[in-house]
A and B are shown apart, each in its own frame.
Chain A
């Protein structure tokens, strides 16, 4: 290790070498017996050769993906500053959430006269184009987050609002009245705040420090529109 450190460059440089960088140059020939316990830190998800995931059963694949999605749901519900959503992004979770929300927001409008409620396509388009717009905005402001990572975070942070939709649907089964409305208003406001806090926890680090407010404001508008659609939903 000492030799590697000396050969890395002039001793005067303050450039910190990444940990264990010299390990990649080690080659162990056959006739030298090496024993003992090696611990080499690696990333927790190593994508090995593709054939190993191609040959496994469908159930394995689905369970693995569902577990990944569930793990990210947990990260959204208890937002801490972590990199999970950004590092292993996927779009399954946002798709599931968006479809659930759109299905629940669809009015069973047989009567075309009162067709004022959002239809499936409207909700779908709002969510995805809203997320795309926010991503473009944050990239233009100088953020160093990739396109799909941002889509992933914004999609996953709709989870609290989907929960709010479920609660509102249940509350609407009871008799309608001012208390009903107040309960729904309270639930939606709390979940709206939760969504914003969750997405801020993930997205804020990728922005330059003095422009965080500029990047968070469109997120606020986006979740406001979705919250408004949820709050004003009344089944006929």
Chain B
């Protein structure tokens, strides 16, 4: 159950039909029993009333049947149930494995098709981004902090997965949409680690080191899995190059889009000389002067605390 390769198509529609038919039979049996009791008392006078009632009843049943069939088909939560069938130990081992690139690329590597881990990682990334936006005092002109964070993370996960799946279709790679979602979702684990550390310790050199190391490891893992499932050097290059570029650039974007130079914070506290940052900065902040370097190490909140201590 854990590695469900969902290549079989929409067989759940047949299940929906089956469920619907079973339920209808029950309802019909109950209705027939009720009608029999009813008809005995009325006689001739009640006949017309009974007829009109039956017609209305049938129309109601038909409408209800259509509505409940549509509902049981599309709003049925059981469709997603197999993808959440995981144990905590499995999630933990998959999280650790997402940082270990595999060496054997000669036969297709197994990808666990589950959605719990990726979904929780996306939500964790949202929480970390919120934390980062608050500490860096990002100001959003239109929209909200929460909306931005959720839009960015879910947009990346769903959008890039779809795009790479489309490319994989072009390059004849053996991967399904569910597997791509799971692969990219687990690849976000590296992003979570890097951002969590570097939002609290604002050292640019540290960030670049982590970007290469941790980001690179998780990208290598995804690339190795894709290479093992693609044939042909050009296709491999196209697919894996695109994924690597998008994944690494996303981490870069997340760090610098929501990272504010400490100088800006100090200036805001001392005087309104610097305009508030826009929601999507077009320029990466310039390198810090050497004198301020120790100040940049700490969290912005601790920084504000120190400044108020100094001013008292």
Contact = CB atoms under 8 A, between A and B. Distances in A.
Interface stretch (B46-54, B86-94, B229-237): B86-94
Given A122-B146, A177-B308, A225 B276 contact: no
Given A210-B87, A221-B124, A224-B127, A140 B145 contact: no
Interface in A182-236: 210-211, 213-214, 217-218, 221, 224-225, 228, 232
A107 B257 CA distance: 24
Nearest to A214: B88
B260 to A, nearest CB: 12
Given A136-B77, A178-B305, A211-B87, A119 B124 contact: no
Contacts of B138: 116
Contacts of B134: 228, 232
B204 interface: no
B280 interface: no
Contacts of A224: 127
A96 interface: no
A: interface residue count bin: 20 to 34
B309 A178 contact: yes
A89 interface: no
Given A178-B305, A210-B88, A114 B312 contact: no
Contacts of B59: none
Contacts of B119: 137
Contact of A114 (B88, B130, B139): B139
Contacts of B106: none
A57 interface: no
Contacts of B116: 137, 140-141, 214
B71 interface: no
B69 interface: no
A122 B140 CA distance: 13
Interface string A157-190: 0000000000000000000111001000000000
A116 B308 contact: no
Nearest to B116: A214
Interface in B140-156: 140-141, 144-147
Most buried by A among B119, B139, B144, B309: B144
A115 interface: yes
Contacts of A214: 86-88, 91, 116
Contact of B144 (A122, A139, A225, A232): A122
A37 interface: no
A217 B87 CA distance: 13
Interface in B159-199: none
Interface string B73-88: 0000100110111111
A65 to B, nearest CB: 30
Given A116-B139, A122-B147, A225-B130, A213 B81 contact: no
A26 to B, nearest CB: 25
Nearest to A129: B150
B84 A137 contact: yes
A140 B120 contact: no
A211 B77 contact: no
Contact of A228 (B124, B131, B144): B131
Contacts of B145: 116, 118, 122
Interface in B290-312: 301, 305, 308-309, 312
Most buried by B among A116, A142, A218, A221: A116
A213 B134 CA distance: 28
A181 B302 CA distance: 10
Nearest to B82: A140
19 contacts: A113-B276, A114-B139, A114-B276, A137-B84, A140-B80, A140-B81, A140-B84, A141-B84, A181-B301, A211-B87, A211-B88, A214-B87, A214-B88, A218-B120, A221-B124, A224-B127, A225-B126, A225-B127, A225-B146
The 4 A-B pairs at the shortest CB distance, nearest first, are namely A140-B84, A178-B305, A122-B144, A232-B134
